[in-house]
């Protein structure tokens, strides 16, 4: 009976700093009443940790990180079948004294980190010397987390397809301490005609190890046209998903997306997905199947980048990039080192090819292009193909909060040949594309600068110059094509600028690599590319 109770006990949570930023590579220790270490783990790249197979008893859990005070949560009572969730906050000594004994200020967390987070209580700090050891920040969970949080962002620049003009983004989250969370997000862009992207979602923890999430999204893009007779894109999407844990070793998640798109014609589509993961200690084996590039897992349901349909036009007919992707992966996550290998088989239907340039009247009338006049970019639909591939990933924390990753893959992608002997139509250029096996190499470095709160990421992903679609279009977590940079800089000039203000810079394909030009039938030059260069900047205000 003791073995059964031991195997069913677990402790999970997220380690963040005082601004709510997840701390990758933080050390988390489970301590016995005499403060001896029972178990030691490290947080992953999202600041999450998991301790399994805990014997019944009373414990403390301590989190430590470079340049922070250790944080201790006391009196955790573990009995048979206990599944505890403990989120911990790391503070500097300055922050601990500043807020002692008052309640900490509301967390100011990046969008991708605080969305959908179901918190435990906020904590009142208390400094203590731990058994003649280090000074720790002891928390007792006697406060209440802020239920309502909001953020406003103003951004603009040289944007991507369907993303032109100056954007005014608004996010609102309500997370009462009862296993529920609600979110609303809206993006109003001022291009030639105002465009709207809005999303509302709800999440409920149905039972330990079981979570349900549903999202509804609406998008209207008046600047997108599909030929002379089709102007203005509208899309409605309904998404839902659920996670299930079968004991400590098996996790499953599944979901579905239904969308209706109108651009001259109306297109209806349904995209289910599922994933099963089996864990044994630090190792795992997983299988997943998906039918659309944007929706791979539950966390994709509300990702802003997945809302816009991967839509193109072929012979005057709307076509969605979709298909069937099946993948088997295995890996190991131990301390600050994460390794993964995967093999896949996929059928990609109507792969979207990006492009730009001057469109001739004949090409525009041919019904093979979607055009966004706010960004002067276009999209077309390439030939469907079937392919196989393999992927290897390795990520490691090199120091402090800095992580580096490497990705290597070999798979199929659409290739466009060299310049033709004479002018050709867009339809002819698309028909000449063929899927070929090609390698992909990627690397990324990201981290946070201590003291300033600066978050940064630099990445580079290379493919053969002829390719115009990515290797493994259904991949998750692979860097954007070619050289990309991301920067979030808190502005600390408190006498002039209110707290909670961040400057944002987002650059993709900085050097405009991978462009494949061709001469159209009227002598004008167009190009296709895996990704166009996009440069955005702005300010974010969190309340």
Provide mean pLDDT across the span 131-148.
Answer: 58
Cβ atoms within 10 Å of 523's Cβ, excluding its own: 9
pLDDT band at 459 (very low <50, low <70, confident <90, very high): very high
- Return the pLDDT at 63: 92
**DSSP track, 259-274:** EEEEESEEEEEEEEEE
Q: Residues 185-240: pLDDT tens digits?
A: 899 887 667 888 999 999 887 877 788 999 999 999 998 998 777 888 999 999 99
80-100 CB burial, b ≥16 within 10 A, e <16:
eebebebbbbbbbeebbeeee
The position carrying tokens 């990324």 is 444
Query: Is 158's pLDDT higher than 90?
Result: no
Residue 3 φ then ψ, to 5°: -65, -40
Tell me which of 174 and 239 has the higher pLDDT: 239
Q: Residues 32-84: pLDDT tens digits?
A: 888 888 999 999 888 899 998 888 888 989 998 877 888 888 888 887 777 78
Three-state SS for 76-103 is EEECCCCEEECCEEECCHHHHHHHCCCC
- Return the pLDDT at 177: 58
Tell me which of 36 and 19 has the higher pLDDT: 36
Tell me which of 540 and 453 has the higher pLDDT: 540
- Return the pLDDT at 495: 61
Tell me how far CA of residue 368 lies from CA of 225, 227, 378, 431, 514, in angstroms: 11, 8, 10, 11, 21
- Return the pLDDT at 79: 78
The whole-angstrom separation of Cα 70 and Cα 89 is 9
The whole-angstrom separation of Cα 409 and Cα 407 is 7
Mean residue pLDDT across the chain: 83
Residue 418 φ then ψ, to 5°: -70, 180
Backbone conformation region of residue 511, classed left if phi is above 0, alpha if psi is from -120 to 50, else beta: alpha
Tell me how far CA of residue 134 lies from CA of 24, 127, 362, 446, in angstroms: 22, 10, 74, 29
Q: H or E element: which one contains 114? A: helix 111-114
- Return the pLDDT at 132: 57
Cβ atoms within 10 Å of 66's Cβ, excluding its own: 13
Query: Is 322's pLDDT higher than 80?
Result: yes
Q: Residues 367-414: pLDDT tens digits?
A: 889 998 888 899 999 999 999 999 999 999 888 778 899 999 999 999
The whole-angstrom separation of Cα 43 and Cα 15 is 7
- Return the pLDDT at 334: 80
Provide the 3-class DSSP secondary structure of residue 361.
helix
Tell me which of 104 and 164 has the higher pLDDT: 164
**What DSSP state is assigned to residue 54?**
P
Reported as half-sphere exposure (CB side, CA atoms, 13 A), residue 70 has a value of 19
- Return the pLDDT at 77: 82
- Return the pLDDT at 418: 66
Query: Is 492's pLDDT higher than 90?
Result: no
**DSSP track, 483-509:** EEEEEEEE---TTTS-TTEEEEEEEES
428 CB contacts (<8 Å, ≥6 apart)? none
Torsion of the alpha carbons at 222, 226, 228 and 230, rounded to the nearest 10: -60
Query: Is 246's pLDDT higher than 50?
Result: yes
Query: Is 476's pLDDT higher than 80?
Result: no
Query: Is 493's pLDDT higher than 90?
Result: no
- Return the pLDDT at 431: 86
Strand partners, 150: 172
Quote the distance between the C-alpha of residue 232 and its chain's center: 28
Query: Is 6's pLDDT higher than 80?
Result: no
Provide mean pLDDT across the span 290-310.
Answer: 86
Query: Is 134's pLDDT higher than 90?
Result: no
The whole-angstrom separation of Cα 200 and Cα 480 is 27
pLDDT band at 140 (very low <50, low <70, confident <90, very high): low
Q: Residues 329-376: pLDDT tens digits?
A: 999 988 788 999 999 999 999 999 999 888 888 888 888 899 988 888
Provide the 3-class DSSP secondary structure of residue 126.
strand
**What DSSP state is assigned to residue 104?**
P
- Return the pLDDT at 519: 84
- Return the pLDDT at 350: 94
Tokens of 399: 């120091």
Query: Is 170's pLDDT higher than 80?
Result: yes
- Return the pLDDT at 94: 62
Provide mean pLDDT across the span 10-14.
Answer: 88
Which domains does the chain show, CATH number per domain?
2-139 (2.60.40.10), 148-542 (2.40.160)
The whole-angstrom separation of Cα 325 and Cα 329 is 13
Give the CA radius of gyration of the chain.
Answer: 25
Q: With a threshold of 0.75, does the pTM exceed it?
A: no
């Amino acid at each position: 009976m003791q073995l059964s109770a031991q195997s069913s006990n677990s402790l999970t949570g997220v380690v963040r700093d005082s601004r709510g930023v997840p701390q990758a590579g933080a050390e988390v220790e489970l301590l016995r009443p005499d403060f001896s270490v029972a178990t030691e783990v490290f947080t992953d790249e999202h600041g999450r940790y998991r301790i399994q197979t805990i014997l019944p008893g009373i414990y403390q859990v301590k989190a430590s990180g470079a340049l922070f005070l250790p944080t201790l949560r006391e009196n955790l009572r573990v009995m048979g079948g206990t599944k505890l969730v403990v989120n911990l906050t790391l503070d500097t000594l300055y922050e601990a004294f500043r807020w002692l004994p008052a309640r900490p200020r509301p967390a100011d967390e990046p969008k991708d980190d605080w969305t959908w987070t179901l918190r435990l209580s906020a904590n009142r700090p208390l400094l203590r010397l731990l058994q003649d050891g280090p000074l720790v920040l002891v928390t007792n969970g006697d406060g209440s987390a802020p239920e309502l949080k909001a953020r406003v962002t103003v951004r603009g620049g040289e944007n991507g397809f369907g993303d032109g003009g100056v954007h005014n983004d608004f996010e609102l989250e309500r997370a009462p301490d009862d296993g529920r969370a609600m979110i609303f997000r809206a993006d109003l862009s001022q291009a030639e005609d105002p465009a709207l992207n809005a999303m509302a979602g709800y999440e409920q923890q149905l039972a330990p190890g079981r979570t349900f999430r549903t999202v509804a999204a609406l998008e209207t893009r008046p600047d997108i046209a599909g030929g002379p007779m089709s102007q203005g894109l509208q899309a409605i999407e309904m998404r839902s998903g659920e996670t299930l844990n079968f004991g400590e070793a098996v996790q499953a998640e599944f979901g579905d997306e239904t969308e209706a798109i109108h651009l001259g014609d109306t297109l209806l589509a349904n995209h289910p997905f599922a994933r099963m993961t089996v864990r044994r200690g630090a190792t795992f084996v997983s299988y997943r199947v998906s039918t659309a590039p944007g929706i791979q897992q539950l966390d994709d349901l509300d990702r802003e980048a997945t809302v816009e349909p991967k839509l193109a036009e072929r012979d005057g007919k709307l076509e969605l990039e979709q298909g069937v992707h099946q993948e088997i992966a295995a890996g190991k996550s131990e301390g600050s080192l994460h390794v993964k290998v995967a093999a896949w088989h996929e059928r990609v239907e109507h792969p979207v090819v990006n492009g730009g340039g001057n469109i001739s009247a004949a090409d525009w009338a041919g019904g093979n292009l979607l055009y966004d006049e706010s960004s002067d970019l276009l999209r077309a639909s390439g030939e469907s193909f079937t392919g196989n591939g393999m992927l290897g990933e390795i990520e490691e924390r090199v120091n402090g909060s800095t992580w580096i990753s490497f990705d290597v893959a070999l798979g199929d992608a659409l290739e466009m040949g060299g310049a033709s002997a004479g002018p050709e139509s867009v339809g002819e250029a698309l028909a000449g594309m063929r899927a070929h096996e090609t390698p992909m190499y990627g690397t990324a470095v990201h981290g946070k600068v201590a003291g300033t709160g600066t978050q940064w990421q630099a990445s580079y992903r290379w493919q053969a110059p002829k390719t115009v679609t990515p290797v493994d279009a259904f991949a998750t977590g692979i860097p954007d094509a070619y050289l990309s940079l991301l920067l979030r800089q808190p502005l600390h000039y408190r006498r002039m600028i209110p707290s909670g203000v961040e400057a944002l810079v987002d650059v993709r394909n900085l050097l405009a690599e991978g462009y494949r030009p061709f001469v159209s039938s009227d002598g004008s030059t167009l190009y296709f590319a895996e990704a166009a260069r996009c440069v955005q900047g702005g300010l974010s205000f969190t309340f």
